Amino acid sequence: MQKTLVMKFGGTSVGSADALSKVIQIITDTKKDWERIVVVTSAMAGVTNLLLDSAASAARGKLDALPATEATLREKHFVAAQQLIPDEALRKQTLAEIDEFIVTLVDLCKAIAILGEASPRVLDAVASLGERMSVRLLTAVVKNAGISAQRVEATELIVTNANYQSAHPDFKATAEKVKARLNPLLGAQIIPITTGFIGATPEGSITTLGRGGSDYSAAIIGQALQAHDVWIWTDVDGIMTTDPRIVPEAQTLPEVTYHEVAELAYYGAKVLHPKTIRPVVEAGIGLRICNTFNPSHPGTRLIANSPIAGDIGKALRAVTAIRKQRLMTIEGRGMLGVPGVAARAFGAVASTKTSVPLITQASSEQSICFAIPSESAACVLAALQEAFANEIADEDIDHIWMTEDVSIITVVGVGMRHIPGVAGQVFSQLGKHQANVLAIAQGSSEVSISMVVTAEDTDLAVRALHELIIQQSSPNLIPSS
């Protein structure tokens, strides 16, 4: 069977004329080794944020920034087209199509302003415009470079439920559509170029897979086509020991296990969307994360859970941070006797559609403490107060309260399982740097330890733990077996 490669290009990778010309070079080079290539694109960098900010302002009745947004969007796409599509007819047609989406944005924002609210469905219609514009630009640029390519809307490929803003794919229906639509193109040596992030319900209403979801789109298409490899092209040299924006000395991890990457992605390493992992693992597809701006660098490869040659003894491999969280605590001596407090508390949280990234409970059962995103805090607090109104009145629960903004810091490494004393090292390092730990949780897989620190201590804690990762030739971190 001919080998299939799915390549996803992130926002920065398609974010300027310079970046797009690197993408052309990468596609040209890759074509030499791969018979069948599918390209998945994100919106140009910053565009999705801009679109969603416009919708949020419109919901507050504010449309004054809209002309500036229109101008920014036009310029971003037009400048790149001007530089990379010399064929005038193709350029004009591409720009006219992009302009239609900009007009659609204006119309949608005006409608939102009149209604005074933006439903999740409308927000998906708005957010999808970014990829729908960039796919037109990229396809035209690729064609202009003499490469045989065809644009395919992801609404023709990815079938999802109607859970707008975080839609769940119907994998079976999607696989059928992907194969039926893409195989004929691939068989004819045409590169399909499609939008990441977007899907559609069976009725054809546009959905999105969640922020950063283009990585997931690539994995879903890879699984459907039984691809050999999925390559995620981004703006850094693969998965690194930490976010290089916080610690510029961060180093690339050449290999990362499924377990590690799942924890890293879940706990804030934005470089890979957490949902990407499951389809590739299930379908046995190779996953590589690589740098559009440094394509000869091998980047990071995902591997199964075997020990990592040369890295054995490194208990800690990477550190991540998720910001803008609140710690919510439910406290009361009477809680000891109240049945099902935890179930009811998390039921109340779930009713607000908020997910809980971290839970700690003291064994005394006199308090439950968990983290939630700050943006959902007010709504979660209200839901908890309602759910426990009787217990609060009876004084079985004394207090439901939350902290200011905090961050969850997570250290990850499969080697941690076999090495005693890692947690001790982590906490003394934080103590040495005077980062105050507010709460702790360890995943049952023992691949990660998470700590909650104040917003001010976030970068300090990440730097301190990164230092520990880099220094780990320490004899205390040699494996015990």
Q: Which residues bind ligand ASP (CB under 6 A)?
A: 10-11, 42-43, 48, 130, 196-197, 211-214
List residues bridging with 256 in a β-sheet.
302
Of the candidate residues 124, 131, 243, 391, the single one contacting ligand ADP (CB under 6 A): 243
Q: How far is the CB of 301 from ligand ASP (least distance, A)?
A: 21
Strand order in the sheet with 229-234: 149-152, 191-195, 36-41, 4-9, 229-234, 286-291, 300-303, 255-257
CB atoms within 10 A of CB 309: 8
**Where does 145-236 have alpha helices with state H?**
171-187, 214-224
Write down the residue that tokens 């944020």 correspond to. Answer: 49
Residue nearest to ligand ASP (CB): 214
Tokens of residue 82, six digits: 């001007």
Q: Does 234 sit near ligand ADP (CB under 6 A)?
A: yes
Q: Which is nearer to ligand ASP, 59 or 127 (CB)?
A: 127
Q: Does 236 sit near ligand ADP (CB under 6 A)?
A: yes
Residue type at position 213: G
Q: Which is nearer to Mg ion, 40 or 387 (CB)?
A: 40
Q: Which is nearer to Mg ion, 10 or 415 (CB)?
A: 10
SS3 of residue 316 by DSSP: coil
CB atoms within 10 A of CB 424: 10
The Cα–Cα gap between 80 and 132 comes to 16
The Cα–Cα gap between 481 and 479 comes to 6
**Which range binds ligand ADP by CB under 6 A, 11-19, 103-111, 335-343, 464-472?**
11-19
Of the candidate residues 242, 276, 291, 472, the single one contacting ligand ADP (CB under 6 A): 242
Q: How far is the CB of 235 from Mg ion (least distance, A)?
A: 9
The Cα–Cα gap between 78 and 90 comes to 13
The Cα–Cα gap between 54 and 116 comes to 13
Q: Which is nearer to ligand ASP, 152 or 345 (CB)?
A: 152
For the residues of 343-368, what is the DSSP string, one character each?
HHHHHHHHHTT---SEEEE-TTSSEE
Q: Which is nearer to ligand ADP, 348 or 461 (CB)?
A: 461
The Cα–Cα gap between 399 and 448 comes to 31
The Cα–Cα gap between 315 and 184 comes to 47
Q: Does 212 sit near Mg ion (CB under 5 A)?
A: yes
Residue type at position 101: F
Q: Does 228 sit near ligand ADP (CB under 6 A)?
A: no
Closest by Cα among 191, 270, 211, 233 to 13: 233
Q: Which is nearer to ligand ASP, 166 or 174 (CB)?
A: 166
Of the candidate residues 179, 181, 270, 418, the single one contacting ligand ADP (CB under 6 A): 270
* Whole-Å CA distances, 87 to 36, 95, 142, 233, 400: 26, 12, 12, 27, 64
Q: Does 235 sit near ligand ADP (CB under 6 A)?
A: yes
Q: Does 472 sit near ligand ADP (CB under 6 A)?
A: no
- Residue 48 contact, options ligand ADP, Mg ion, ligand ASP, none, Cβ 5-8 Å cut-off depending on partner type: ligand ASP
How many residues bind ligand ADP (CB under 6 A)? The answer is 20
Q: How far is the CB of 462 from ligand ADP (least distance, A)?
A: 10
Q: Which is nearer to ligand ADP, 236 or 335 (CB)?
A: 236
Return the half-sphere exposure (C-beta side, CA atoms, 13 A cut-off) of residue 357.
31
Map the footprint of ligand ADP across residues 398-457, applying CB under 6 A.
Answer: none
The full length of the chain comes to 481
- Residue 166 contact, options ligand ASP, ligand ADP, Mg ion, none, Cβ 5-8 Å cut-off depending on partner type: none
Write down the residue that tokens 């099902």 correspond to. Answer: 340
Of the candidate residues 4, 5, 10, 134, the single one contacting ligand ADP (CB under 6 A): 10
Q: Does 131 sit near ligand ADP (CB under 6 A)?
A: no
Q: How far is the CB of 450 from ligand ASP (least distance, A)?
A: 24
Binding mask 310-349 vs ligand ADP (x if CB under 6 A, - otherwise)? --------x-x-----------------------------
Q: Are 413 and 477 in contact (CB under 8 A)?
A: no
| Burial class of 320 by CB neighbour count within 10 A (0 to 12, 13 to 18, 19+) | buried
- Residue 242 contact, options ligand ADP, ligand ASP, Mg ion, none, Cβ 5-8 Å cut-off depending on partner type: ligand ADP
Q: Does 26 sit near ligand ADP (CB under 6 A)?
A: no
- Residue 199 contact, options ligand ASP, ligand ADP, Mg ion, none, Cβ 5-8 Å cut-off depending on partner type: none
Tokens of residue 90, six digits: 């193709």
- Residue 269 contact, options Mg ion, ligand ASP, ligand ADP, none, Cβ 5-8 Å cut-off depending on partner type: ligand ADP
Residue 441: φ, ψ to 5° = -150, 145
Q: Are 395 and 456 in contact (CB under 8 A)?
A: no
Q: Does 415 sit near Mg ion (CB under 5 A)?
A: no
- Residue 196 contact, options ligand ASP, Mg ion, ligand ADP, none, Cβ 5-8 Å cut-off depending on partner type: ligand ASP
Write down the residue that tokens 């969603």 correspond to. Answer: 52
> Interface residues with ligand ADP (CB under 6 A)?
10-13, 42, 212, 234-236, 239-240, 242-245, 269-271, 318, 320
> Interface residues with Mg ion (CB under 5 A)?
10, 212
